[in-house]
């Protein structure tokens, strides 16, 4: 009946508890994770920046070394010496020995004429006067070119230095091995997805990138995004992956060294940590949920039990309230009925008195009058008995306090009823605890209670059966139980058996006051009567008598 | 049964009248009073052996009050309380004030007569004792005869 109420209560408690428990858990988890994520990301960016800078410095150093050795050769040799193939070849040998990565070496006069050359391509005789780098060298003293195809149709770049020898100005020019230079840059390629390459300010590849793109083609990177020192940008590639790019300018700001890295690959560590975190979080949630459900169930169950106890207590209280109210009403009704009854009785008595007089005896209907008057008296008596019983005054109005031996009282009561029981083939068994204390109480009233219960049991069985009368001591009270193997009392009747005038006996056989009076008597003594019955299996009435120790006289 | 005088006090006229008639028919010198006040008036004029008093009379003096006054006027008259009600407390109080016993309405005349006889016995025994004591006293102090005569006159 009340189950949906408790179910919804349980659901609400669990829901609220879980929300309150999980909300901070989620908040804490996500805040910590996002903080860690930020820190980790910053670390990754710093690292890639550092690598870009370091690599750019390395490349710059490489270029400076090459320029330095080229300049040293130009400064230590005279023009006349250098145009001799033998000396030029010796210088080229020394340069490759000390620094390396030179492909060829040539001498160009101030008219742009290539006069001497050492290397795999025969470039002697070519005139560079029109080439833009020639002017640059003449004005600045040294020059590093971008990568270009040139006469030899291979991507390469050159470095050149100017020598002022009195009036004569000449240029020493060398080609850098693109493979050596390329591998120097590629040394910064890390992991499965890391890349490293150099682009010009316009965005042309100066070295071959690891993924999509060829040397001298246009890269998709906007070099303008990279400012003064080193910067990091994040870009989606064509596969939708987030790629981090770090760039560092070198070669006097002409070239940009770019290092790229797949962000996902770099963040693997934190993602693994995140997964462990989520796993632990889920574990915690499961534990909290299980505990919450478990404890809430126990709590709600306890609550339900307590409510049930309260309800049954309330039912008992209501029963006793109801009986008390009925008792008061009965007392009032008794007065109103007893007075008219008294008048009727006196009036009939008066008629009787008058009938007894000599002259009336001769009347024809004298006997009829007399019988009628007797009948009236009989029925007044009957009504009187009902009212008196109702008031519980069948014996005496006030309970007396005397020494009562409960077992003795039971034995006496059974002795009164034994004959009646035997006629109906009902066996009354006793199981009396001989240790029961003598109590102060009203033996006659107690006997009336027992008499009611046992005779009810006999009436319930009708024929052939047994009744068991037990007395035990339980703490501060004596419990007397009367059990029969009669037909039992149906559930819906159990509440009513103590009500006055409730009877199941055939008309006129029972007043329906026995159990009500018994209940009132026990209540006055501070005890109770309870019943336990199963339809079809018999009934047990338990009388609970408080132990009141008699005063010593 | 010896001759004796009874007073019935009840606010129910039908009951009162009939009971008085029936008791008179049984040779009891019976008077009736419809209220406590009337009963007290009658008792000031006439001595009674047994008084039958309804304890529950709405309006006017209630039974207990009447009983208390009666005992002042005629301490030796035995009072039988009659009740149609379950007021145990009233009955106990009445007994404490010296009522002989209490009876529940409705009551058969035979039972009432038995109780009245018992009350009368008691009163008689009591009277006897007083009479003997008075004789002893008179034997010792004959001069007091005059005083007692005066008292007797006042009572009757």
Residue A454 lies in a domain: yes
Per-residue pLDDT at A192? 81
Q: Categorize the per-residue pLDDT at A219 as very low, low, confident or very high, splitting at 50, 70 and 90.
A: confident
Distance CA(A94)–CA(A442), nearest Å, equals 138
Between B89 and A37, the more confident residue is A37
One domain for residues A356 and A502: no
Question: The CATH number of the domain where A254 resides is what?
Answer: 3.30.450.20
Q: Categorize the per-residue pLDDT at A391 as very low, low, confident or very high, splitting at 50, 70 and 90.
A: low
One domain for residues A334 and A377: yes
One domain for residues A250 and A128: yes
In the predicted model, residues of chain B with pLDDT beneath 50 are 155-156
Per-residue pLDDT at B87? 59
Q: Where are the beta strands (DSSP E) in A168-241?
A: 168-176, 195-200, 230-236
* A244: its two tokens: 């981090």
Residue A216 lies in a domain: yes
- Antiparallel, parallel or unpaired: β A195-200 and A255-262: antiparallel
Distance CA(A6)–CA(A297), nearest Å, equals 10
Distance CA(A342)–CA(A495), nearest Å, equals 36
Residue A401 has pLDDT above 50, yes or no: yes
One domain for residues A277 and A240: no
Lowest mean pLDDT among A340-349, A521-530, B77-86: B77-86
One domain for residues A289 and A253: no
List CB contacts (< 8 A) between A345 and chain B.
106-108
Residue appearing with tokens 């910064």: A188
Distance of CA A59 to the CA centre of its chain: 59
Asked if A545 contacts A480 with a C-beta cutoff of 8 angstroms, the reply is: yes
Q: Which helix (H) or strand (E) holds A299?
A: helix A268-355
One domain for residues A319 and A363: yes
The segment with the largest mean pLDDT, out of A16-20, A238-242, A498-502, is A16-20
Per-residue pLDDT at A395? 38
Residue A469 has pLDDT above 90, yes or no: yes
Residue A295 has pLDDT above 90, yes or no: yes
Between A380 and B144, the more confident residue is A380
Give contacts of A 170-189 with B, CB under 8 A. Answer: none
Per-residue pLDDT at A183? 87
Asked if the Cβ–Cβ distance from A346 to B88 is below 8 Å, we say no
Distance CA(B148)–CA(A281), nearest Å, equals 113
Minimum CA–CA partner of B87 in chain A? A331
Give contacts of A 379-438 with B, CB under 8 A. Answer: 380, 384, 388, 391, 393, 397-398
One domain for residues A427 and A374: no
Residue A397 lies in a domain: no
> Which whole-number Å values give the CA distances from A529 to A316, A395, A525, in the listed order?
11, 20, 11
Rounded mean pLDDT, A422-434: 90
Asked if the Cβ–Cβ distance from B15 to A331 is below 8 Å, we say no
Distance CA(A138)–CA(A147), nearest Å, equals 20
Per-residue pLDDT at A393? 44
Q: How many domains does chain A have?
A: 3
Asked if the Cβ–Cβ distance from B15 to A334 is below 8 Å, we say no
Given A266, A284, A312, which residue is the final one in a domain? A266
Per-residue pLDDT at A366? 84
* DSSP-derived 3-state class of residue B46: coil
Per-residue pLDDT at A317? 75
The partner residue sitting opposite B22, judged by closest CB among A330, A343, A349, is A349
Q: Categorize the per-residue pLDDT at A98 as very low, low, confident or very high, splitting at 50, 70 and 90.
A: confident
B38 phi/psi in degrees, rounded to 5: -60, -40
One domain for residues A114 and A261: yes
Distant-in-sequence contacts of A107-115, Cβ < 8 A, 24+ apart: A107/A79, A107/A82, A107/A83, A107/A170, A107/A171, A107/A172, A107/A173, A108/A134, A108/A160, A108/A170, A108/A171, A108/A173, A109/A170, A109/A171, A110/A138, A110/A168, A110/A169, A110/A170, A110/A171, A115/A83
Asked if A67 contacts A161 with a C-beta cutoff of 8 angstroms, the reply is: yes
The partner residue sitting opposite B86, judged by closest CB among A331, A344, A349, is A331
> Which whole-number Å values give the CA distances from A367 to A348, A352, A505, B30, B112, in the listed order?
15, 11, 36, 30, 26
Distance CA(B26)–CA(B29), nearest Å, equals 9
Instruction: Kindly report the average pLDDT of chain A as a whole number.
Output: 84
List CB contacts (< 8 A) between A342 and chain B.
12, 15, 84, 105-107
B94-133 tens-digit pLDDT: 888 888 888 888 888 888 999 999 999 888 888 889 889 8
Per-residue pLDDT at B103? 85
Asked if the Cβ–Cβ distance from A338 to B85 is below 8 Å, we say yes
Given A266, A299, A321, which residue is the final one in a domain? A266
**Domains along chain B?**
5-123 (3.40.50.2300)
Q: Which of B117, B25, B111 is nearest to A377 (CA)?
A: B111
CA A360 to chain B, closest CA, distance in angstroms equals: 16
A484 phi/psi in degrees, rounded to 5: -125, 160
Per-residue pLDDT at B156? 45
One domain for residues A12 and A146: yes
Give contacts of B 95-154 with A, CB under 8 A. Answer: 104-109
Lowest mean pLDDT among A196-210, A260-274, A494-508: A494-508
Per-residue pLDDT at A467? 93
* DSSP-derived 3-state class of residue A148: strand
One domain for residues A216 and A98: yes
Lowest mean pLDDT among A291-300, A313-322, A531-540, B13-22: A313-322
Per-residue pLDDT at A396? 42
Question: The CATH number of the domain where A507 resides is what?
Answer: 3.30.565.10
Per-residue pLDDT at B152? 54
First vs last C-alpha separation in chain B: 23
DSSP A224: G
Q: How many CB atoms lie within 10 A of CB A287?
A: 10
Rounded mean pLDDT, A154-170: 87
CA B6 to chain A, closest CA, distance in angstroms equals: 17
Given A266, A292, A320, which residue is the final one in a domain? A266
Residue A97 lies in a domain: yes
- Antiparallel, parallel or unpaired: β A465-474 and A426-432: parallel
Per-residue pLDDT at A509? 64
Give contacts of A 239-258 with B, CB under 8 A. Answer: none
List CB contacts (< 8 A) between B12 and chain A.
339, 342-343
List CB contacts (< 8 A) between A346 and chain B.
14-15, 18-19, 22, 106, 109
Residue A515 has pLDDT above 60, yes or no: yes
> Number of Cβ pairs closer than 8 Å across A and B?
69
Distance CA(A209)–CA(A425), nearest Å, equals 115
The partner residue sitting opposite A342, judged by closest CB among B15, B25, B91, is B15
Residue A482 has pLDDT above 90, yes or no: yes
List CB contacts (< 8 A) between A388 and chain B.
104
Residue A147 lies in a domain: yes
Asked if the Cβ–Cβ distance from B12 to A349 is below 8 Å, we say no
Question: The CATH number of the domain where A358 resides is what?
Answer: 1.10.287.130
Residue A85 lies in a domain: yes
One domain for residues A29 and A155: yes
Residue A383 lies in a domain: yes
Containing structural domain, residue A16? 1-266
Residue A553 lies in a domain: no
Q: Where are the beta strands (DSSP E) in chain B?
A: 5-9, 29-33, 50-54, 78-83, 101-104
Q: What angle do CA B9, B12, B17 make, to 5 degrees?
A: 70
One domain for residues A120 and A196: yes
């Amino acid at each position: 009946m009340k189950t949906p109420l408790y179910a919804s209560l349980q659901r609400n408690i669990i829901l609220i508890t879980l929300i309150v428990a999980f909300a901070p858990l989620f908040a804490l988890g996500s805040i910590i994770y996002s903080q860690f994520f930020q820190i980790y990301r910053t670390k990754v960016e710093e690292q890639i920046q550092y690598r870009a800078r370091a690599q750019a410095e390395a490349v710059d150093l490489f270029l400076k070394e090459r320029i330095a050795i080229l300049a040293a050769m130009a400064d230590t040799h005279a023009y006349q010496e250098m145009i001799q193939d033998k000396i030029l070849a010796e210088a080229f040998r020394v340069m490759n020995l000390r620094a390396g990565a030179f492909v060829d070496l040539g001498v160009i006069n101030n008219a742009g004429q290539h006069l001497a050359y050492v290397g795999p391509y025969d470039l002697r005789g070519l005139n560079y006067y029109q080439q833009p780098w020639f002017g640059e060298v003449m004005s600045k003293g040294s020059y590093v070119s971008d990568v270009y195809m040139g006469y030899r149709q291979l991507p390469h770049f050159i470095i050149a230095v100017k020598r002022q020898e009195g009036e004569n100005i000449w240029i020493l020019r060398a080609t850098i091995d693109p493979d050596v230079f390329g591998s120097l840059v590629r040394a910064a390629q890390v992991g499965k997805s890391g890349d490293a390459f150099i682009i010009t300010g316009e965005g042309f590849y100066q070295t071959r990138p690891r993924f999509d793109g060829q040397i001298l083609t246009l890269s998709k990177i906007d070099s303008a995004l990279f400012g003064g020192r080193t910067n990091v940008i994040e870009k989606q590639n064509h596969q939708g992956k987030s790629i981090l790019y770090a760039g560092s300018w070198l070669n006097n700001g002409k070239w940009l060294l770019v290092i790229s890295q797949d962000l996902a690959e770099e963040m693997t560590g934190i993602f693994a940590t995140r997964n462990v975190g989520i796993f632990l979080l889920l574990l915690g949630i499961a534990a909290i949920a299980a505990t919450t459900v478990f404890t809430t169930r126990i709590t709600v169950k306890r609550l339900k039990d307590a409510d049930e106890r309260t309800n049954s207590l309330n039912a008992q209280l209501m029963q006793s309230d109801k009986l008390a109210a009925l008792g008061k009403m009965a007392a009032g009704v008794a007065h109103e009925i007893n007075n008219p009854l008294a008048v009727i009785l006196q009036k009939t008595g008066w008629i009787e008195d008058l009938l007894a007089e000599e002259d009336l005896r001769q009347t024809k209907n004298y006997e009829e009058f007399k019988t009628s008057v007797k009948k009236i008296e009989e029925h007044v008596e009957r009504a009187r008995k009902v009212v008196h019983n109702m008031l519980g005054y069948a014996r005496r109005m006030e309970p007396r306090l005397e020494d009562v031996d409960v077992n003795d009282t039971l034995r006496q009561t059974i002795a009164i009823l034994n004959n009646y029981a035997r006629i109906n083939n009902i066996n009354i068994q006793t199981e009396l605890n001989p240790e029961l204390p003598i109590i102060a109480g009203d033996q006659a009233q107690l006997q009336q209670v027992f008499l009611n219960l046992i005779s009810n049991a006999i009436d319930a069985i009708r024929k052939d059966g047994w009744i068991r009368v037990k007395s035990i001591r339980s703490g501060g009270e004596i419990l007397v139980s009367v059990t029969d193997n009669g037909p039992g009392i149906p559930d819906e009747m159990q509440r009513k058996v103590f009500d006055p005038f409730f009877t199941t006996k055939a008309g006129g056989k029972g007043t329906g006051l026995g159990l009500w009076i018994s209940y009132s008597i026990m209540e006055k003594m501070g005890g109770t009567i309870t019943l336990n019955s199963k339809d079809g299996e018999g009934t047990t009435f338990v009388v609970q008598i408080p132990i009141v120790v008699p005063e010593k006289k | 049964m010896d001759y004796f005088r009874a007073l019935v006090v009840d606010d129910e006229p039908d009951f009162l009248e009939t009971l008085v008639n029936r008791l008179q028919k049984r040779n009891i010198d019976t008077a009736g009073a419809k209220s406590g006040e009337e009963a007290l008036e009658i008792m000031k004029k006439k001595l009674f052996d047994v008084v039958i008093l309804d304890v529950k009379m709405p309006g006017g003096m209630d039974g207990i009050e009447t009983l208390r006054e009666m005992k002042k006027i005629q301490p030796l008259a035995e009072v039988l309380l009659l009740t149609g009600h379950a007021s145990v407390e009233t009955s106990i109080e009445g007994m404490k004030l010296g009522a002989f016993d209490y009876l529940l309405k409705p009551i058969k005349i035979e039972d009432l007569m038995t109780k009245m006889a018992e009350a009368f016995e008691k009163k008689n025994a009591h009277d006897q004792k007083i009479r003997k004591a008075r004789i002893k006293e008179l034997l010792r102090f004959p001069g007091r005869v005059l005083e007692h005569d005066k008292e007797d006159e006042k009572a009757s």
